[in-house]
Amino acid sequence: MPTPGGNAATASTVGSLVLTGGSSGIGAGLASDLAGEWDITVVDRDLPETPAPGVTYLQGDITTDDAVDTVRKSLTENGRATIDGIVHCAGIGAFGPFMEMPKSEWERVLLVNLHGTLNFVQGVADMVADGGRIVLFSSGTVFKAPASAAAYAASKAGVIGFARSLAAELGARNITVNVIAPGLVLTPLSTAIAAGEEANISTRAIKRPATVEDFIGPTRFFLSPGSSFVTGQTLVVDGGSIRR
């Protein structure tokens, strides 16, 4: 495995990372920050208006085998038989009273956030080299469980349970599987609940809005050699709103 965070001297020493949802929000911030230290392949439903230099962007829906096939084909064509890590940020939000939510809407949330995670990881994880890293994104909503977030919280709780079990399966190969659970951060995903940001900030030990940059350091840690004995864990990154 490469040494993430270092300055690779040649292309051969640059690790290969697949990043889902890397066209906007937290994923886009990660793509821009990690580019150059990693050979990054982003897969997303939409391509970014301003691509990060040096990043390969592929269009695909993580809920389908098409996205998996597109990623595997691109990596093979670029001489990558294995990869060093997966960072899975792709997801959608849907909020409102559950008893009034159309079945089709909560099914879509589960399809993308949970089934999409299962589908994409199952389709690509066999390419992760021994000692590699898998980082999944959940949500602090799982622990706060506010009203009007039932379907979203359920989908993101499933990601945490999945990661814990997958960590046990992949531990024999020294592959770590960890989760980052963000608090409310204003991205395209969270626009529907942006009105609640002030109340959210009031619950935090660090009383300021979250930024995309707040999630880069924690992700770097889970990708780093220093996290080699950390697996099956969920790190809540929310300024201390949830303290446990």
Closest CA to 215 of 176, 186, 178, 180: 180
User: Which run of H or of E encompasses 86?
Assistant: strand 83-88
In this structure, what are the phi and psi dihedrals at residue 54, rounded to the nearest 5 degrees? 85, 0
Q: Which of 38, 57, 106, 152 is catalytic?
A: 152
| 57 a catalytic residue | no
Instruction: Please list, in sequence order, all residues whose beta carbon lies within 8 angstroms of the beta carbon of residue 221, skipping any fewer than 6 positions away.
Output: 227
Query: Looking up tokens 């619950």, which residue turns up?
Result: 203
CB atoms within 10 A of CB 172: 8
User: 10 Å Cβ neighbour count for 115?
Assistant: 15
Rounded to 5 degrees, what are φ and ψ at 231?
Answer: -155, 155
Residue 232, Ramachandran bin (φ over 0: left; ψ between -120 and 50: alpha; else beta): left
Dihedral angle, C-alpha 115, 116, 122, 128, nearest 10 °: -140
Residues marked active site are found at 152
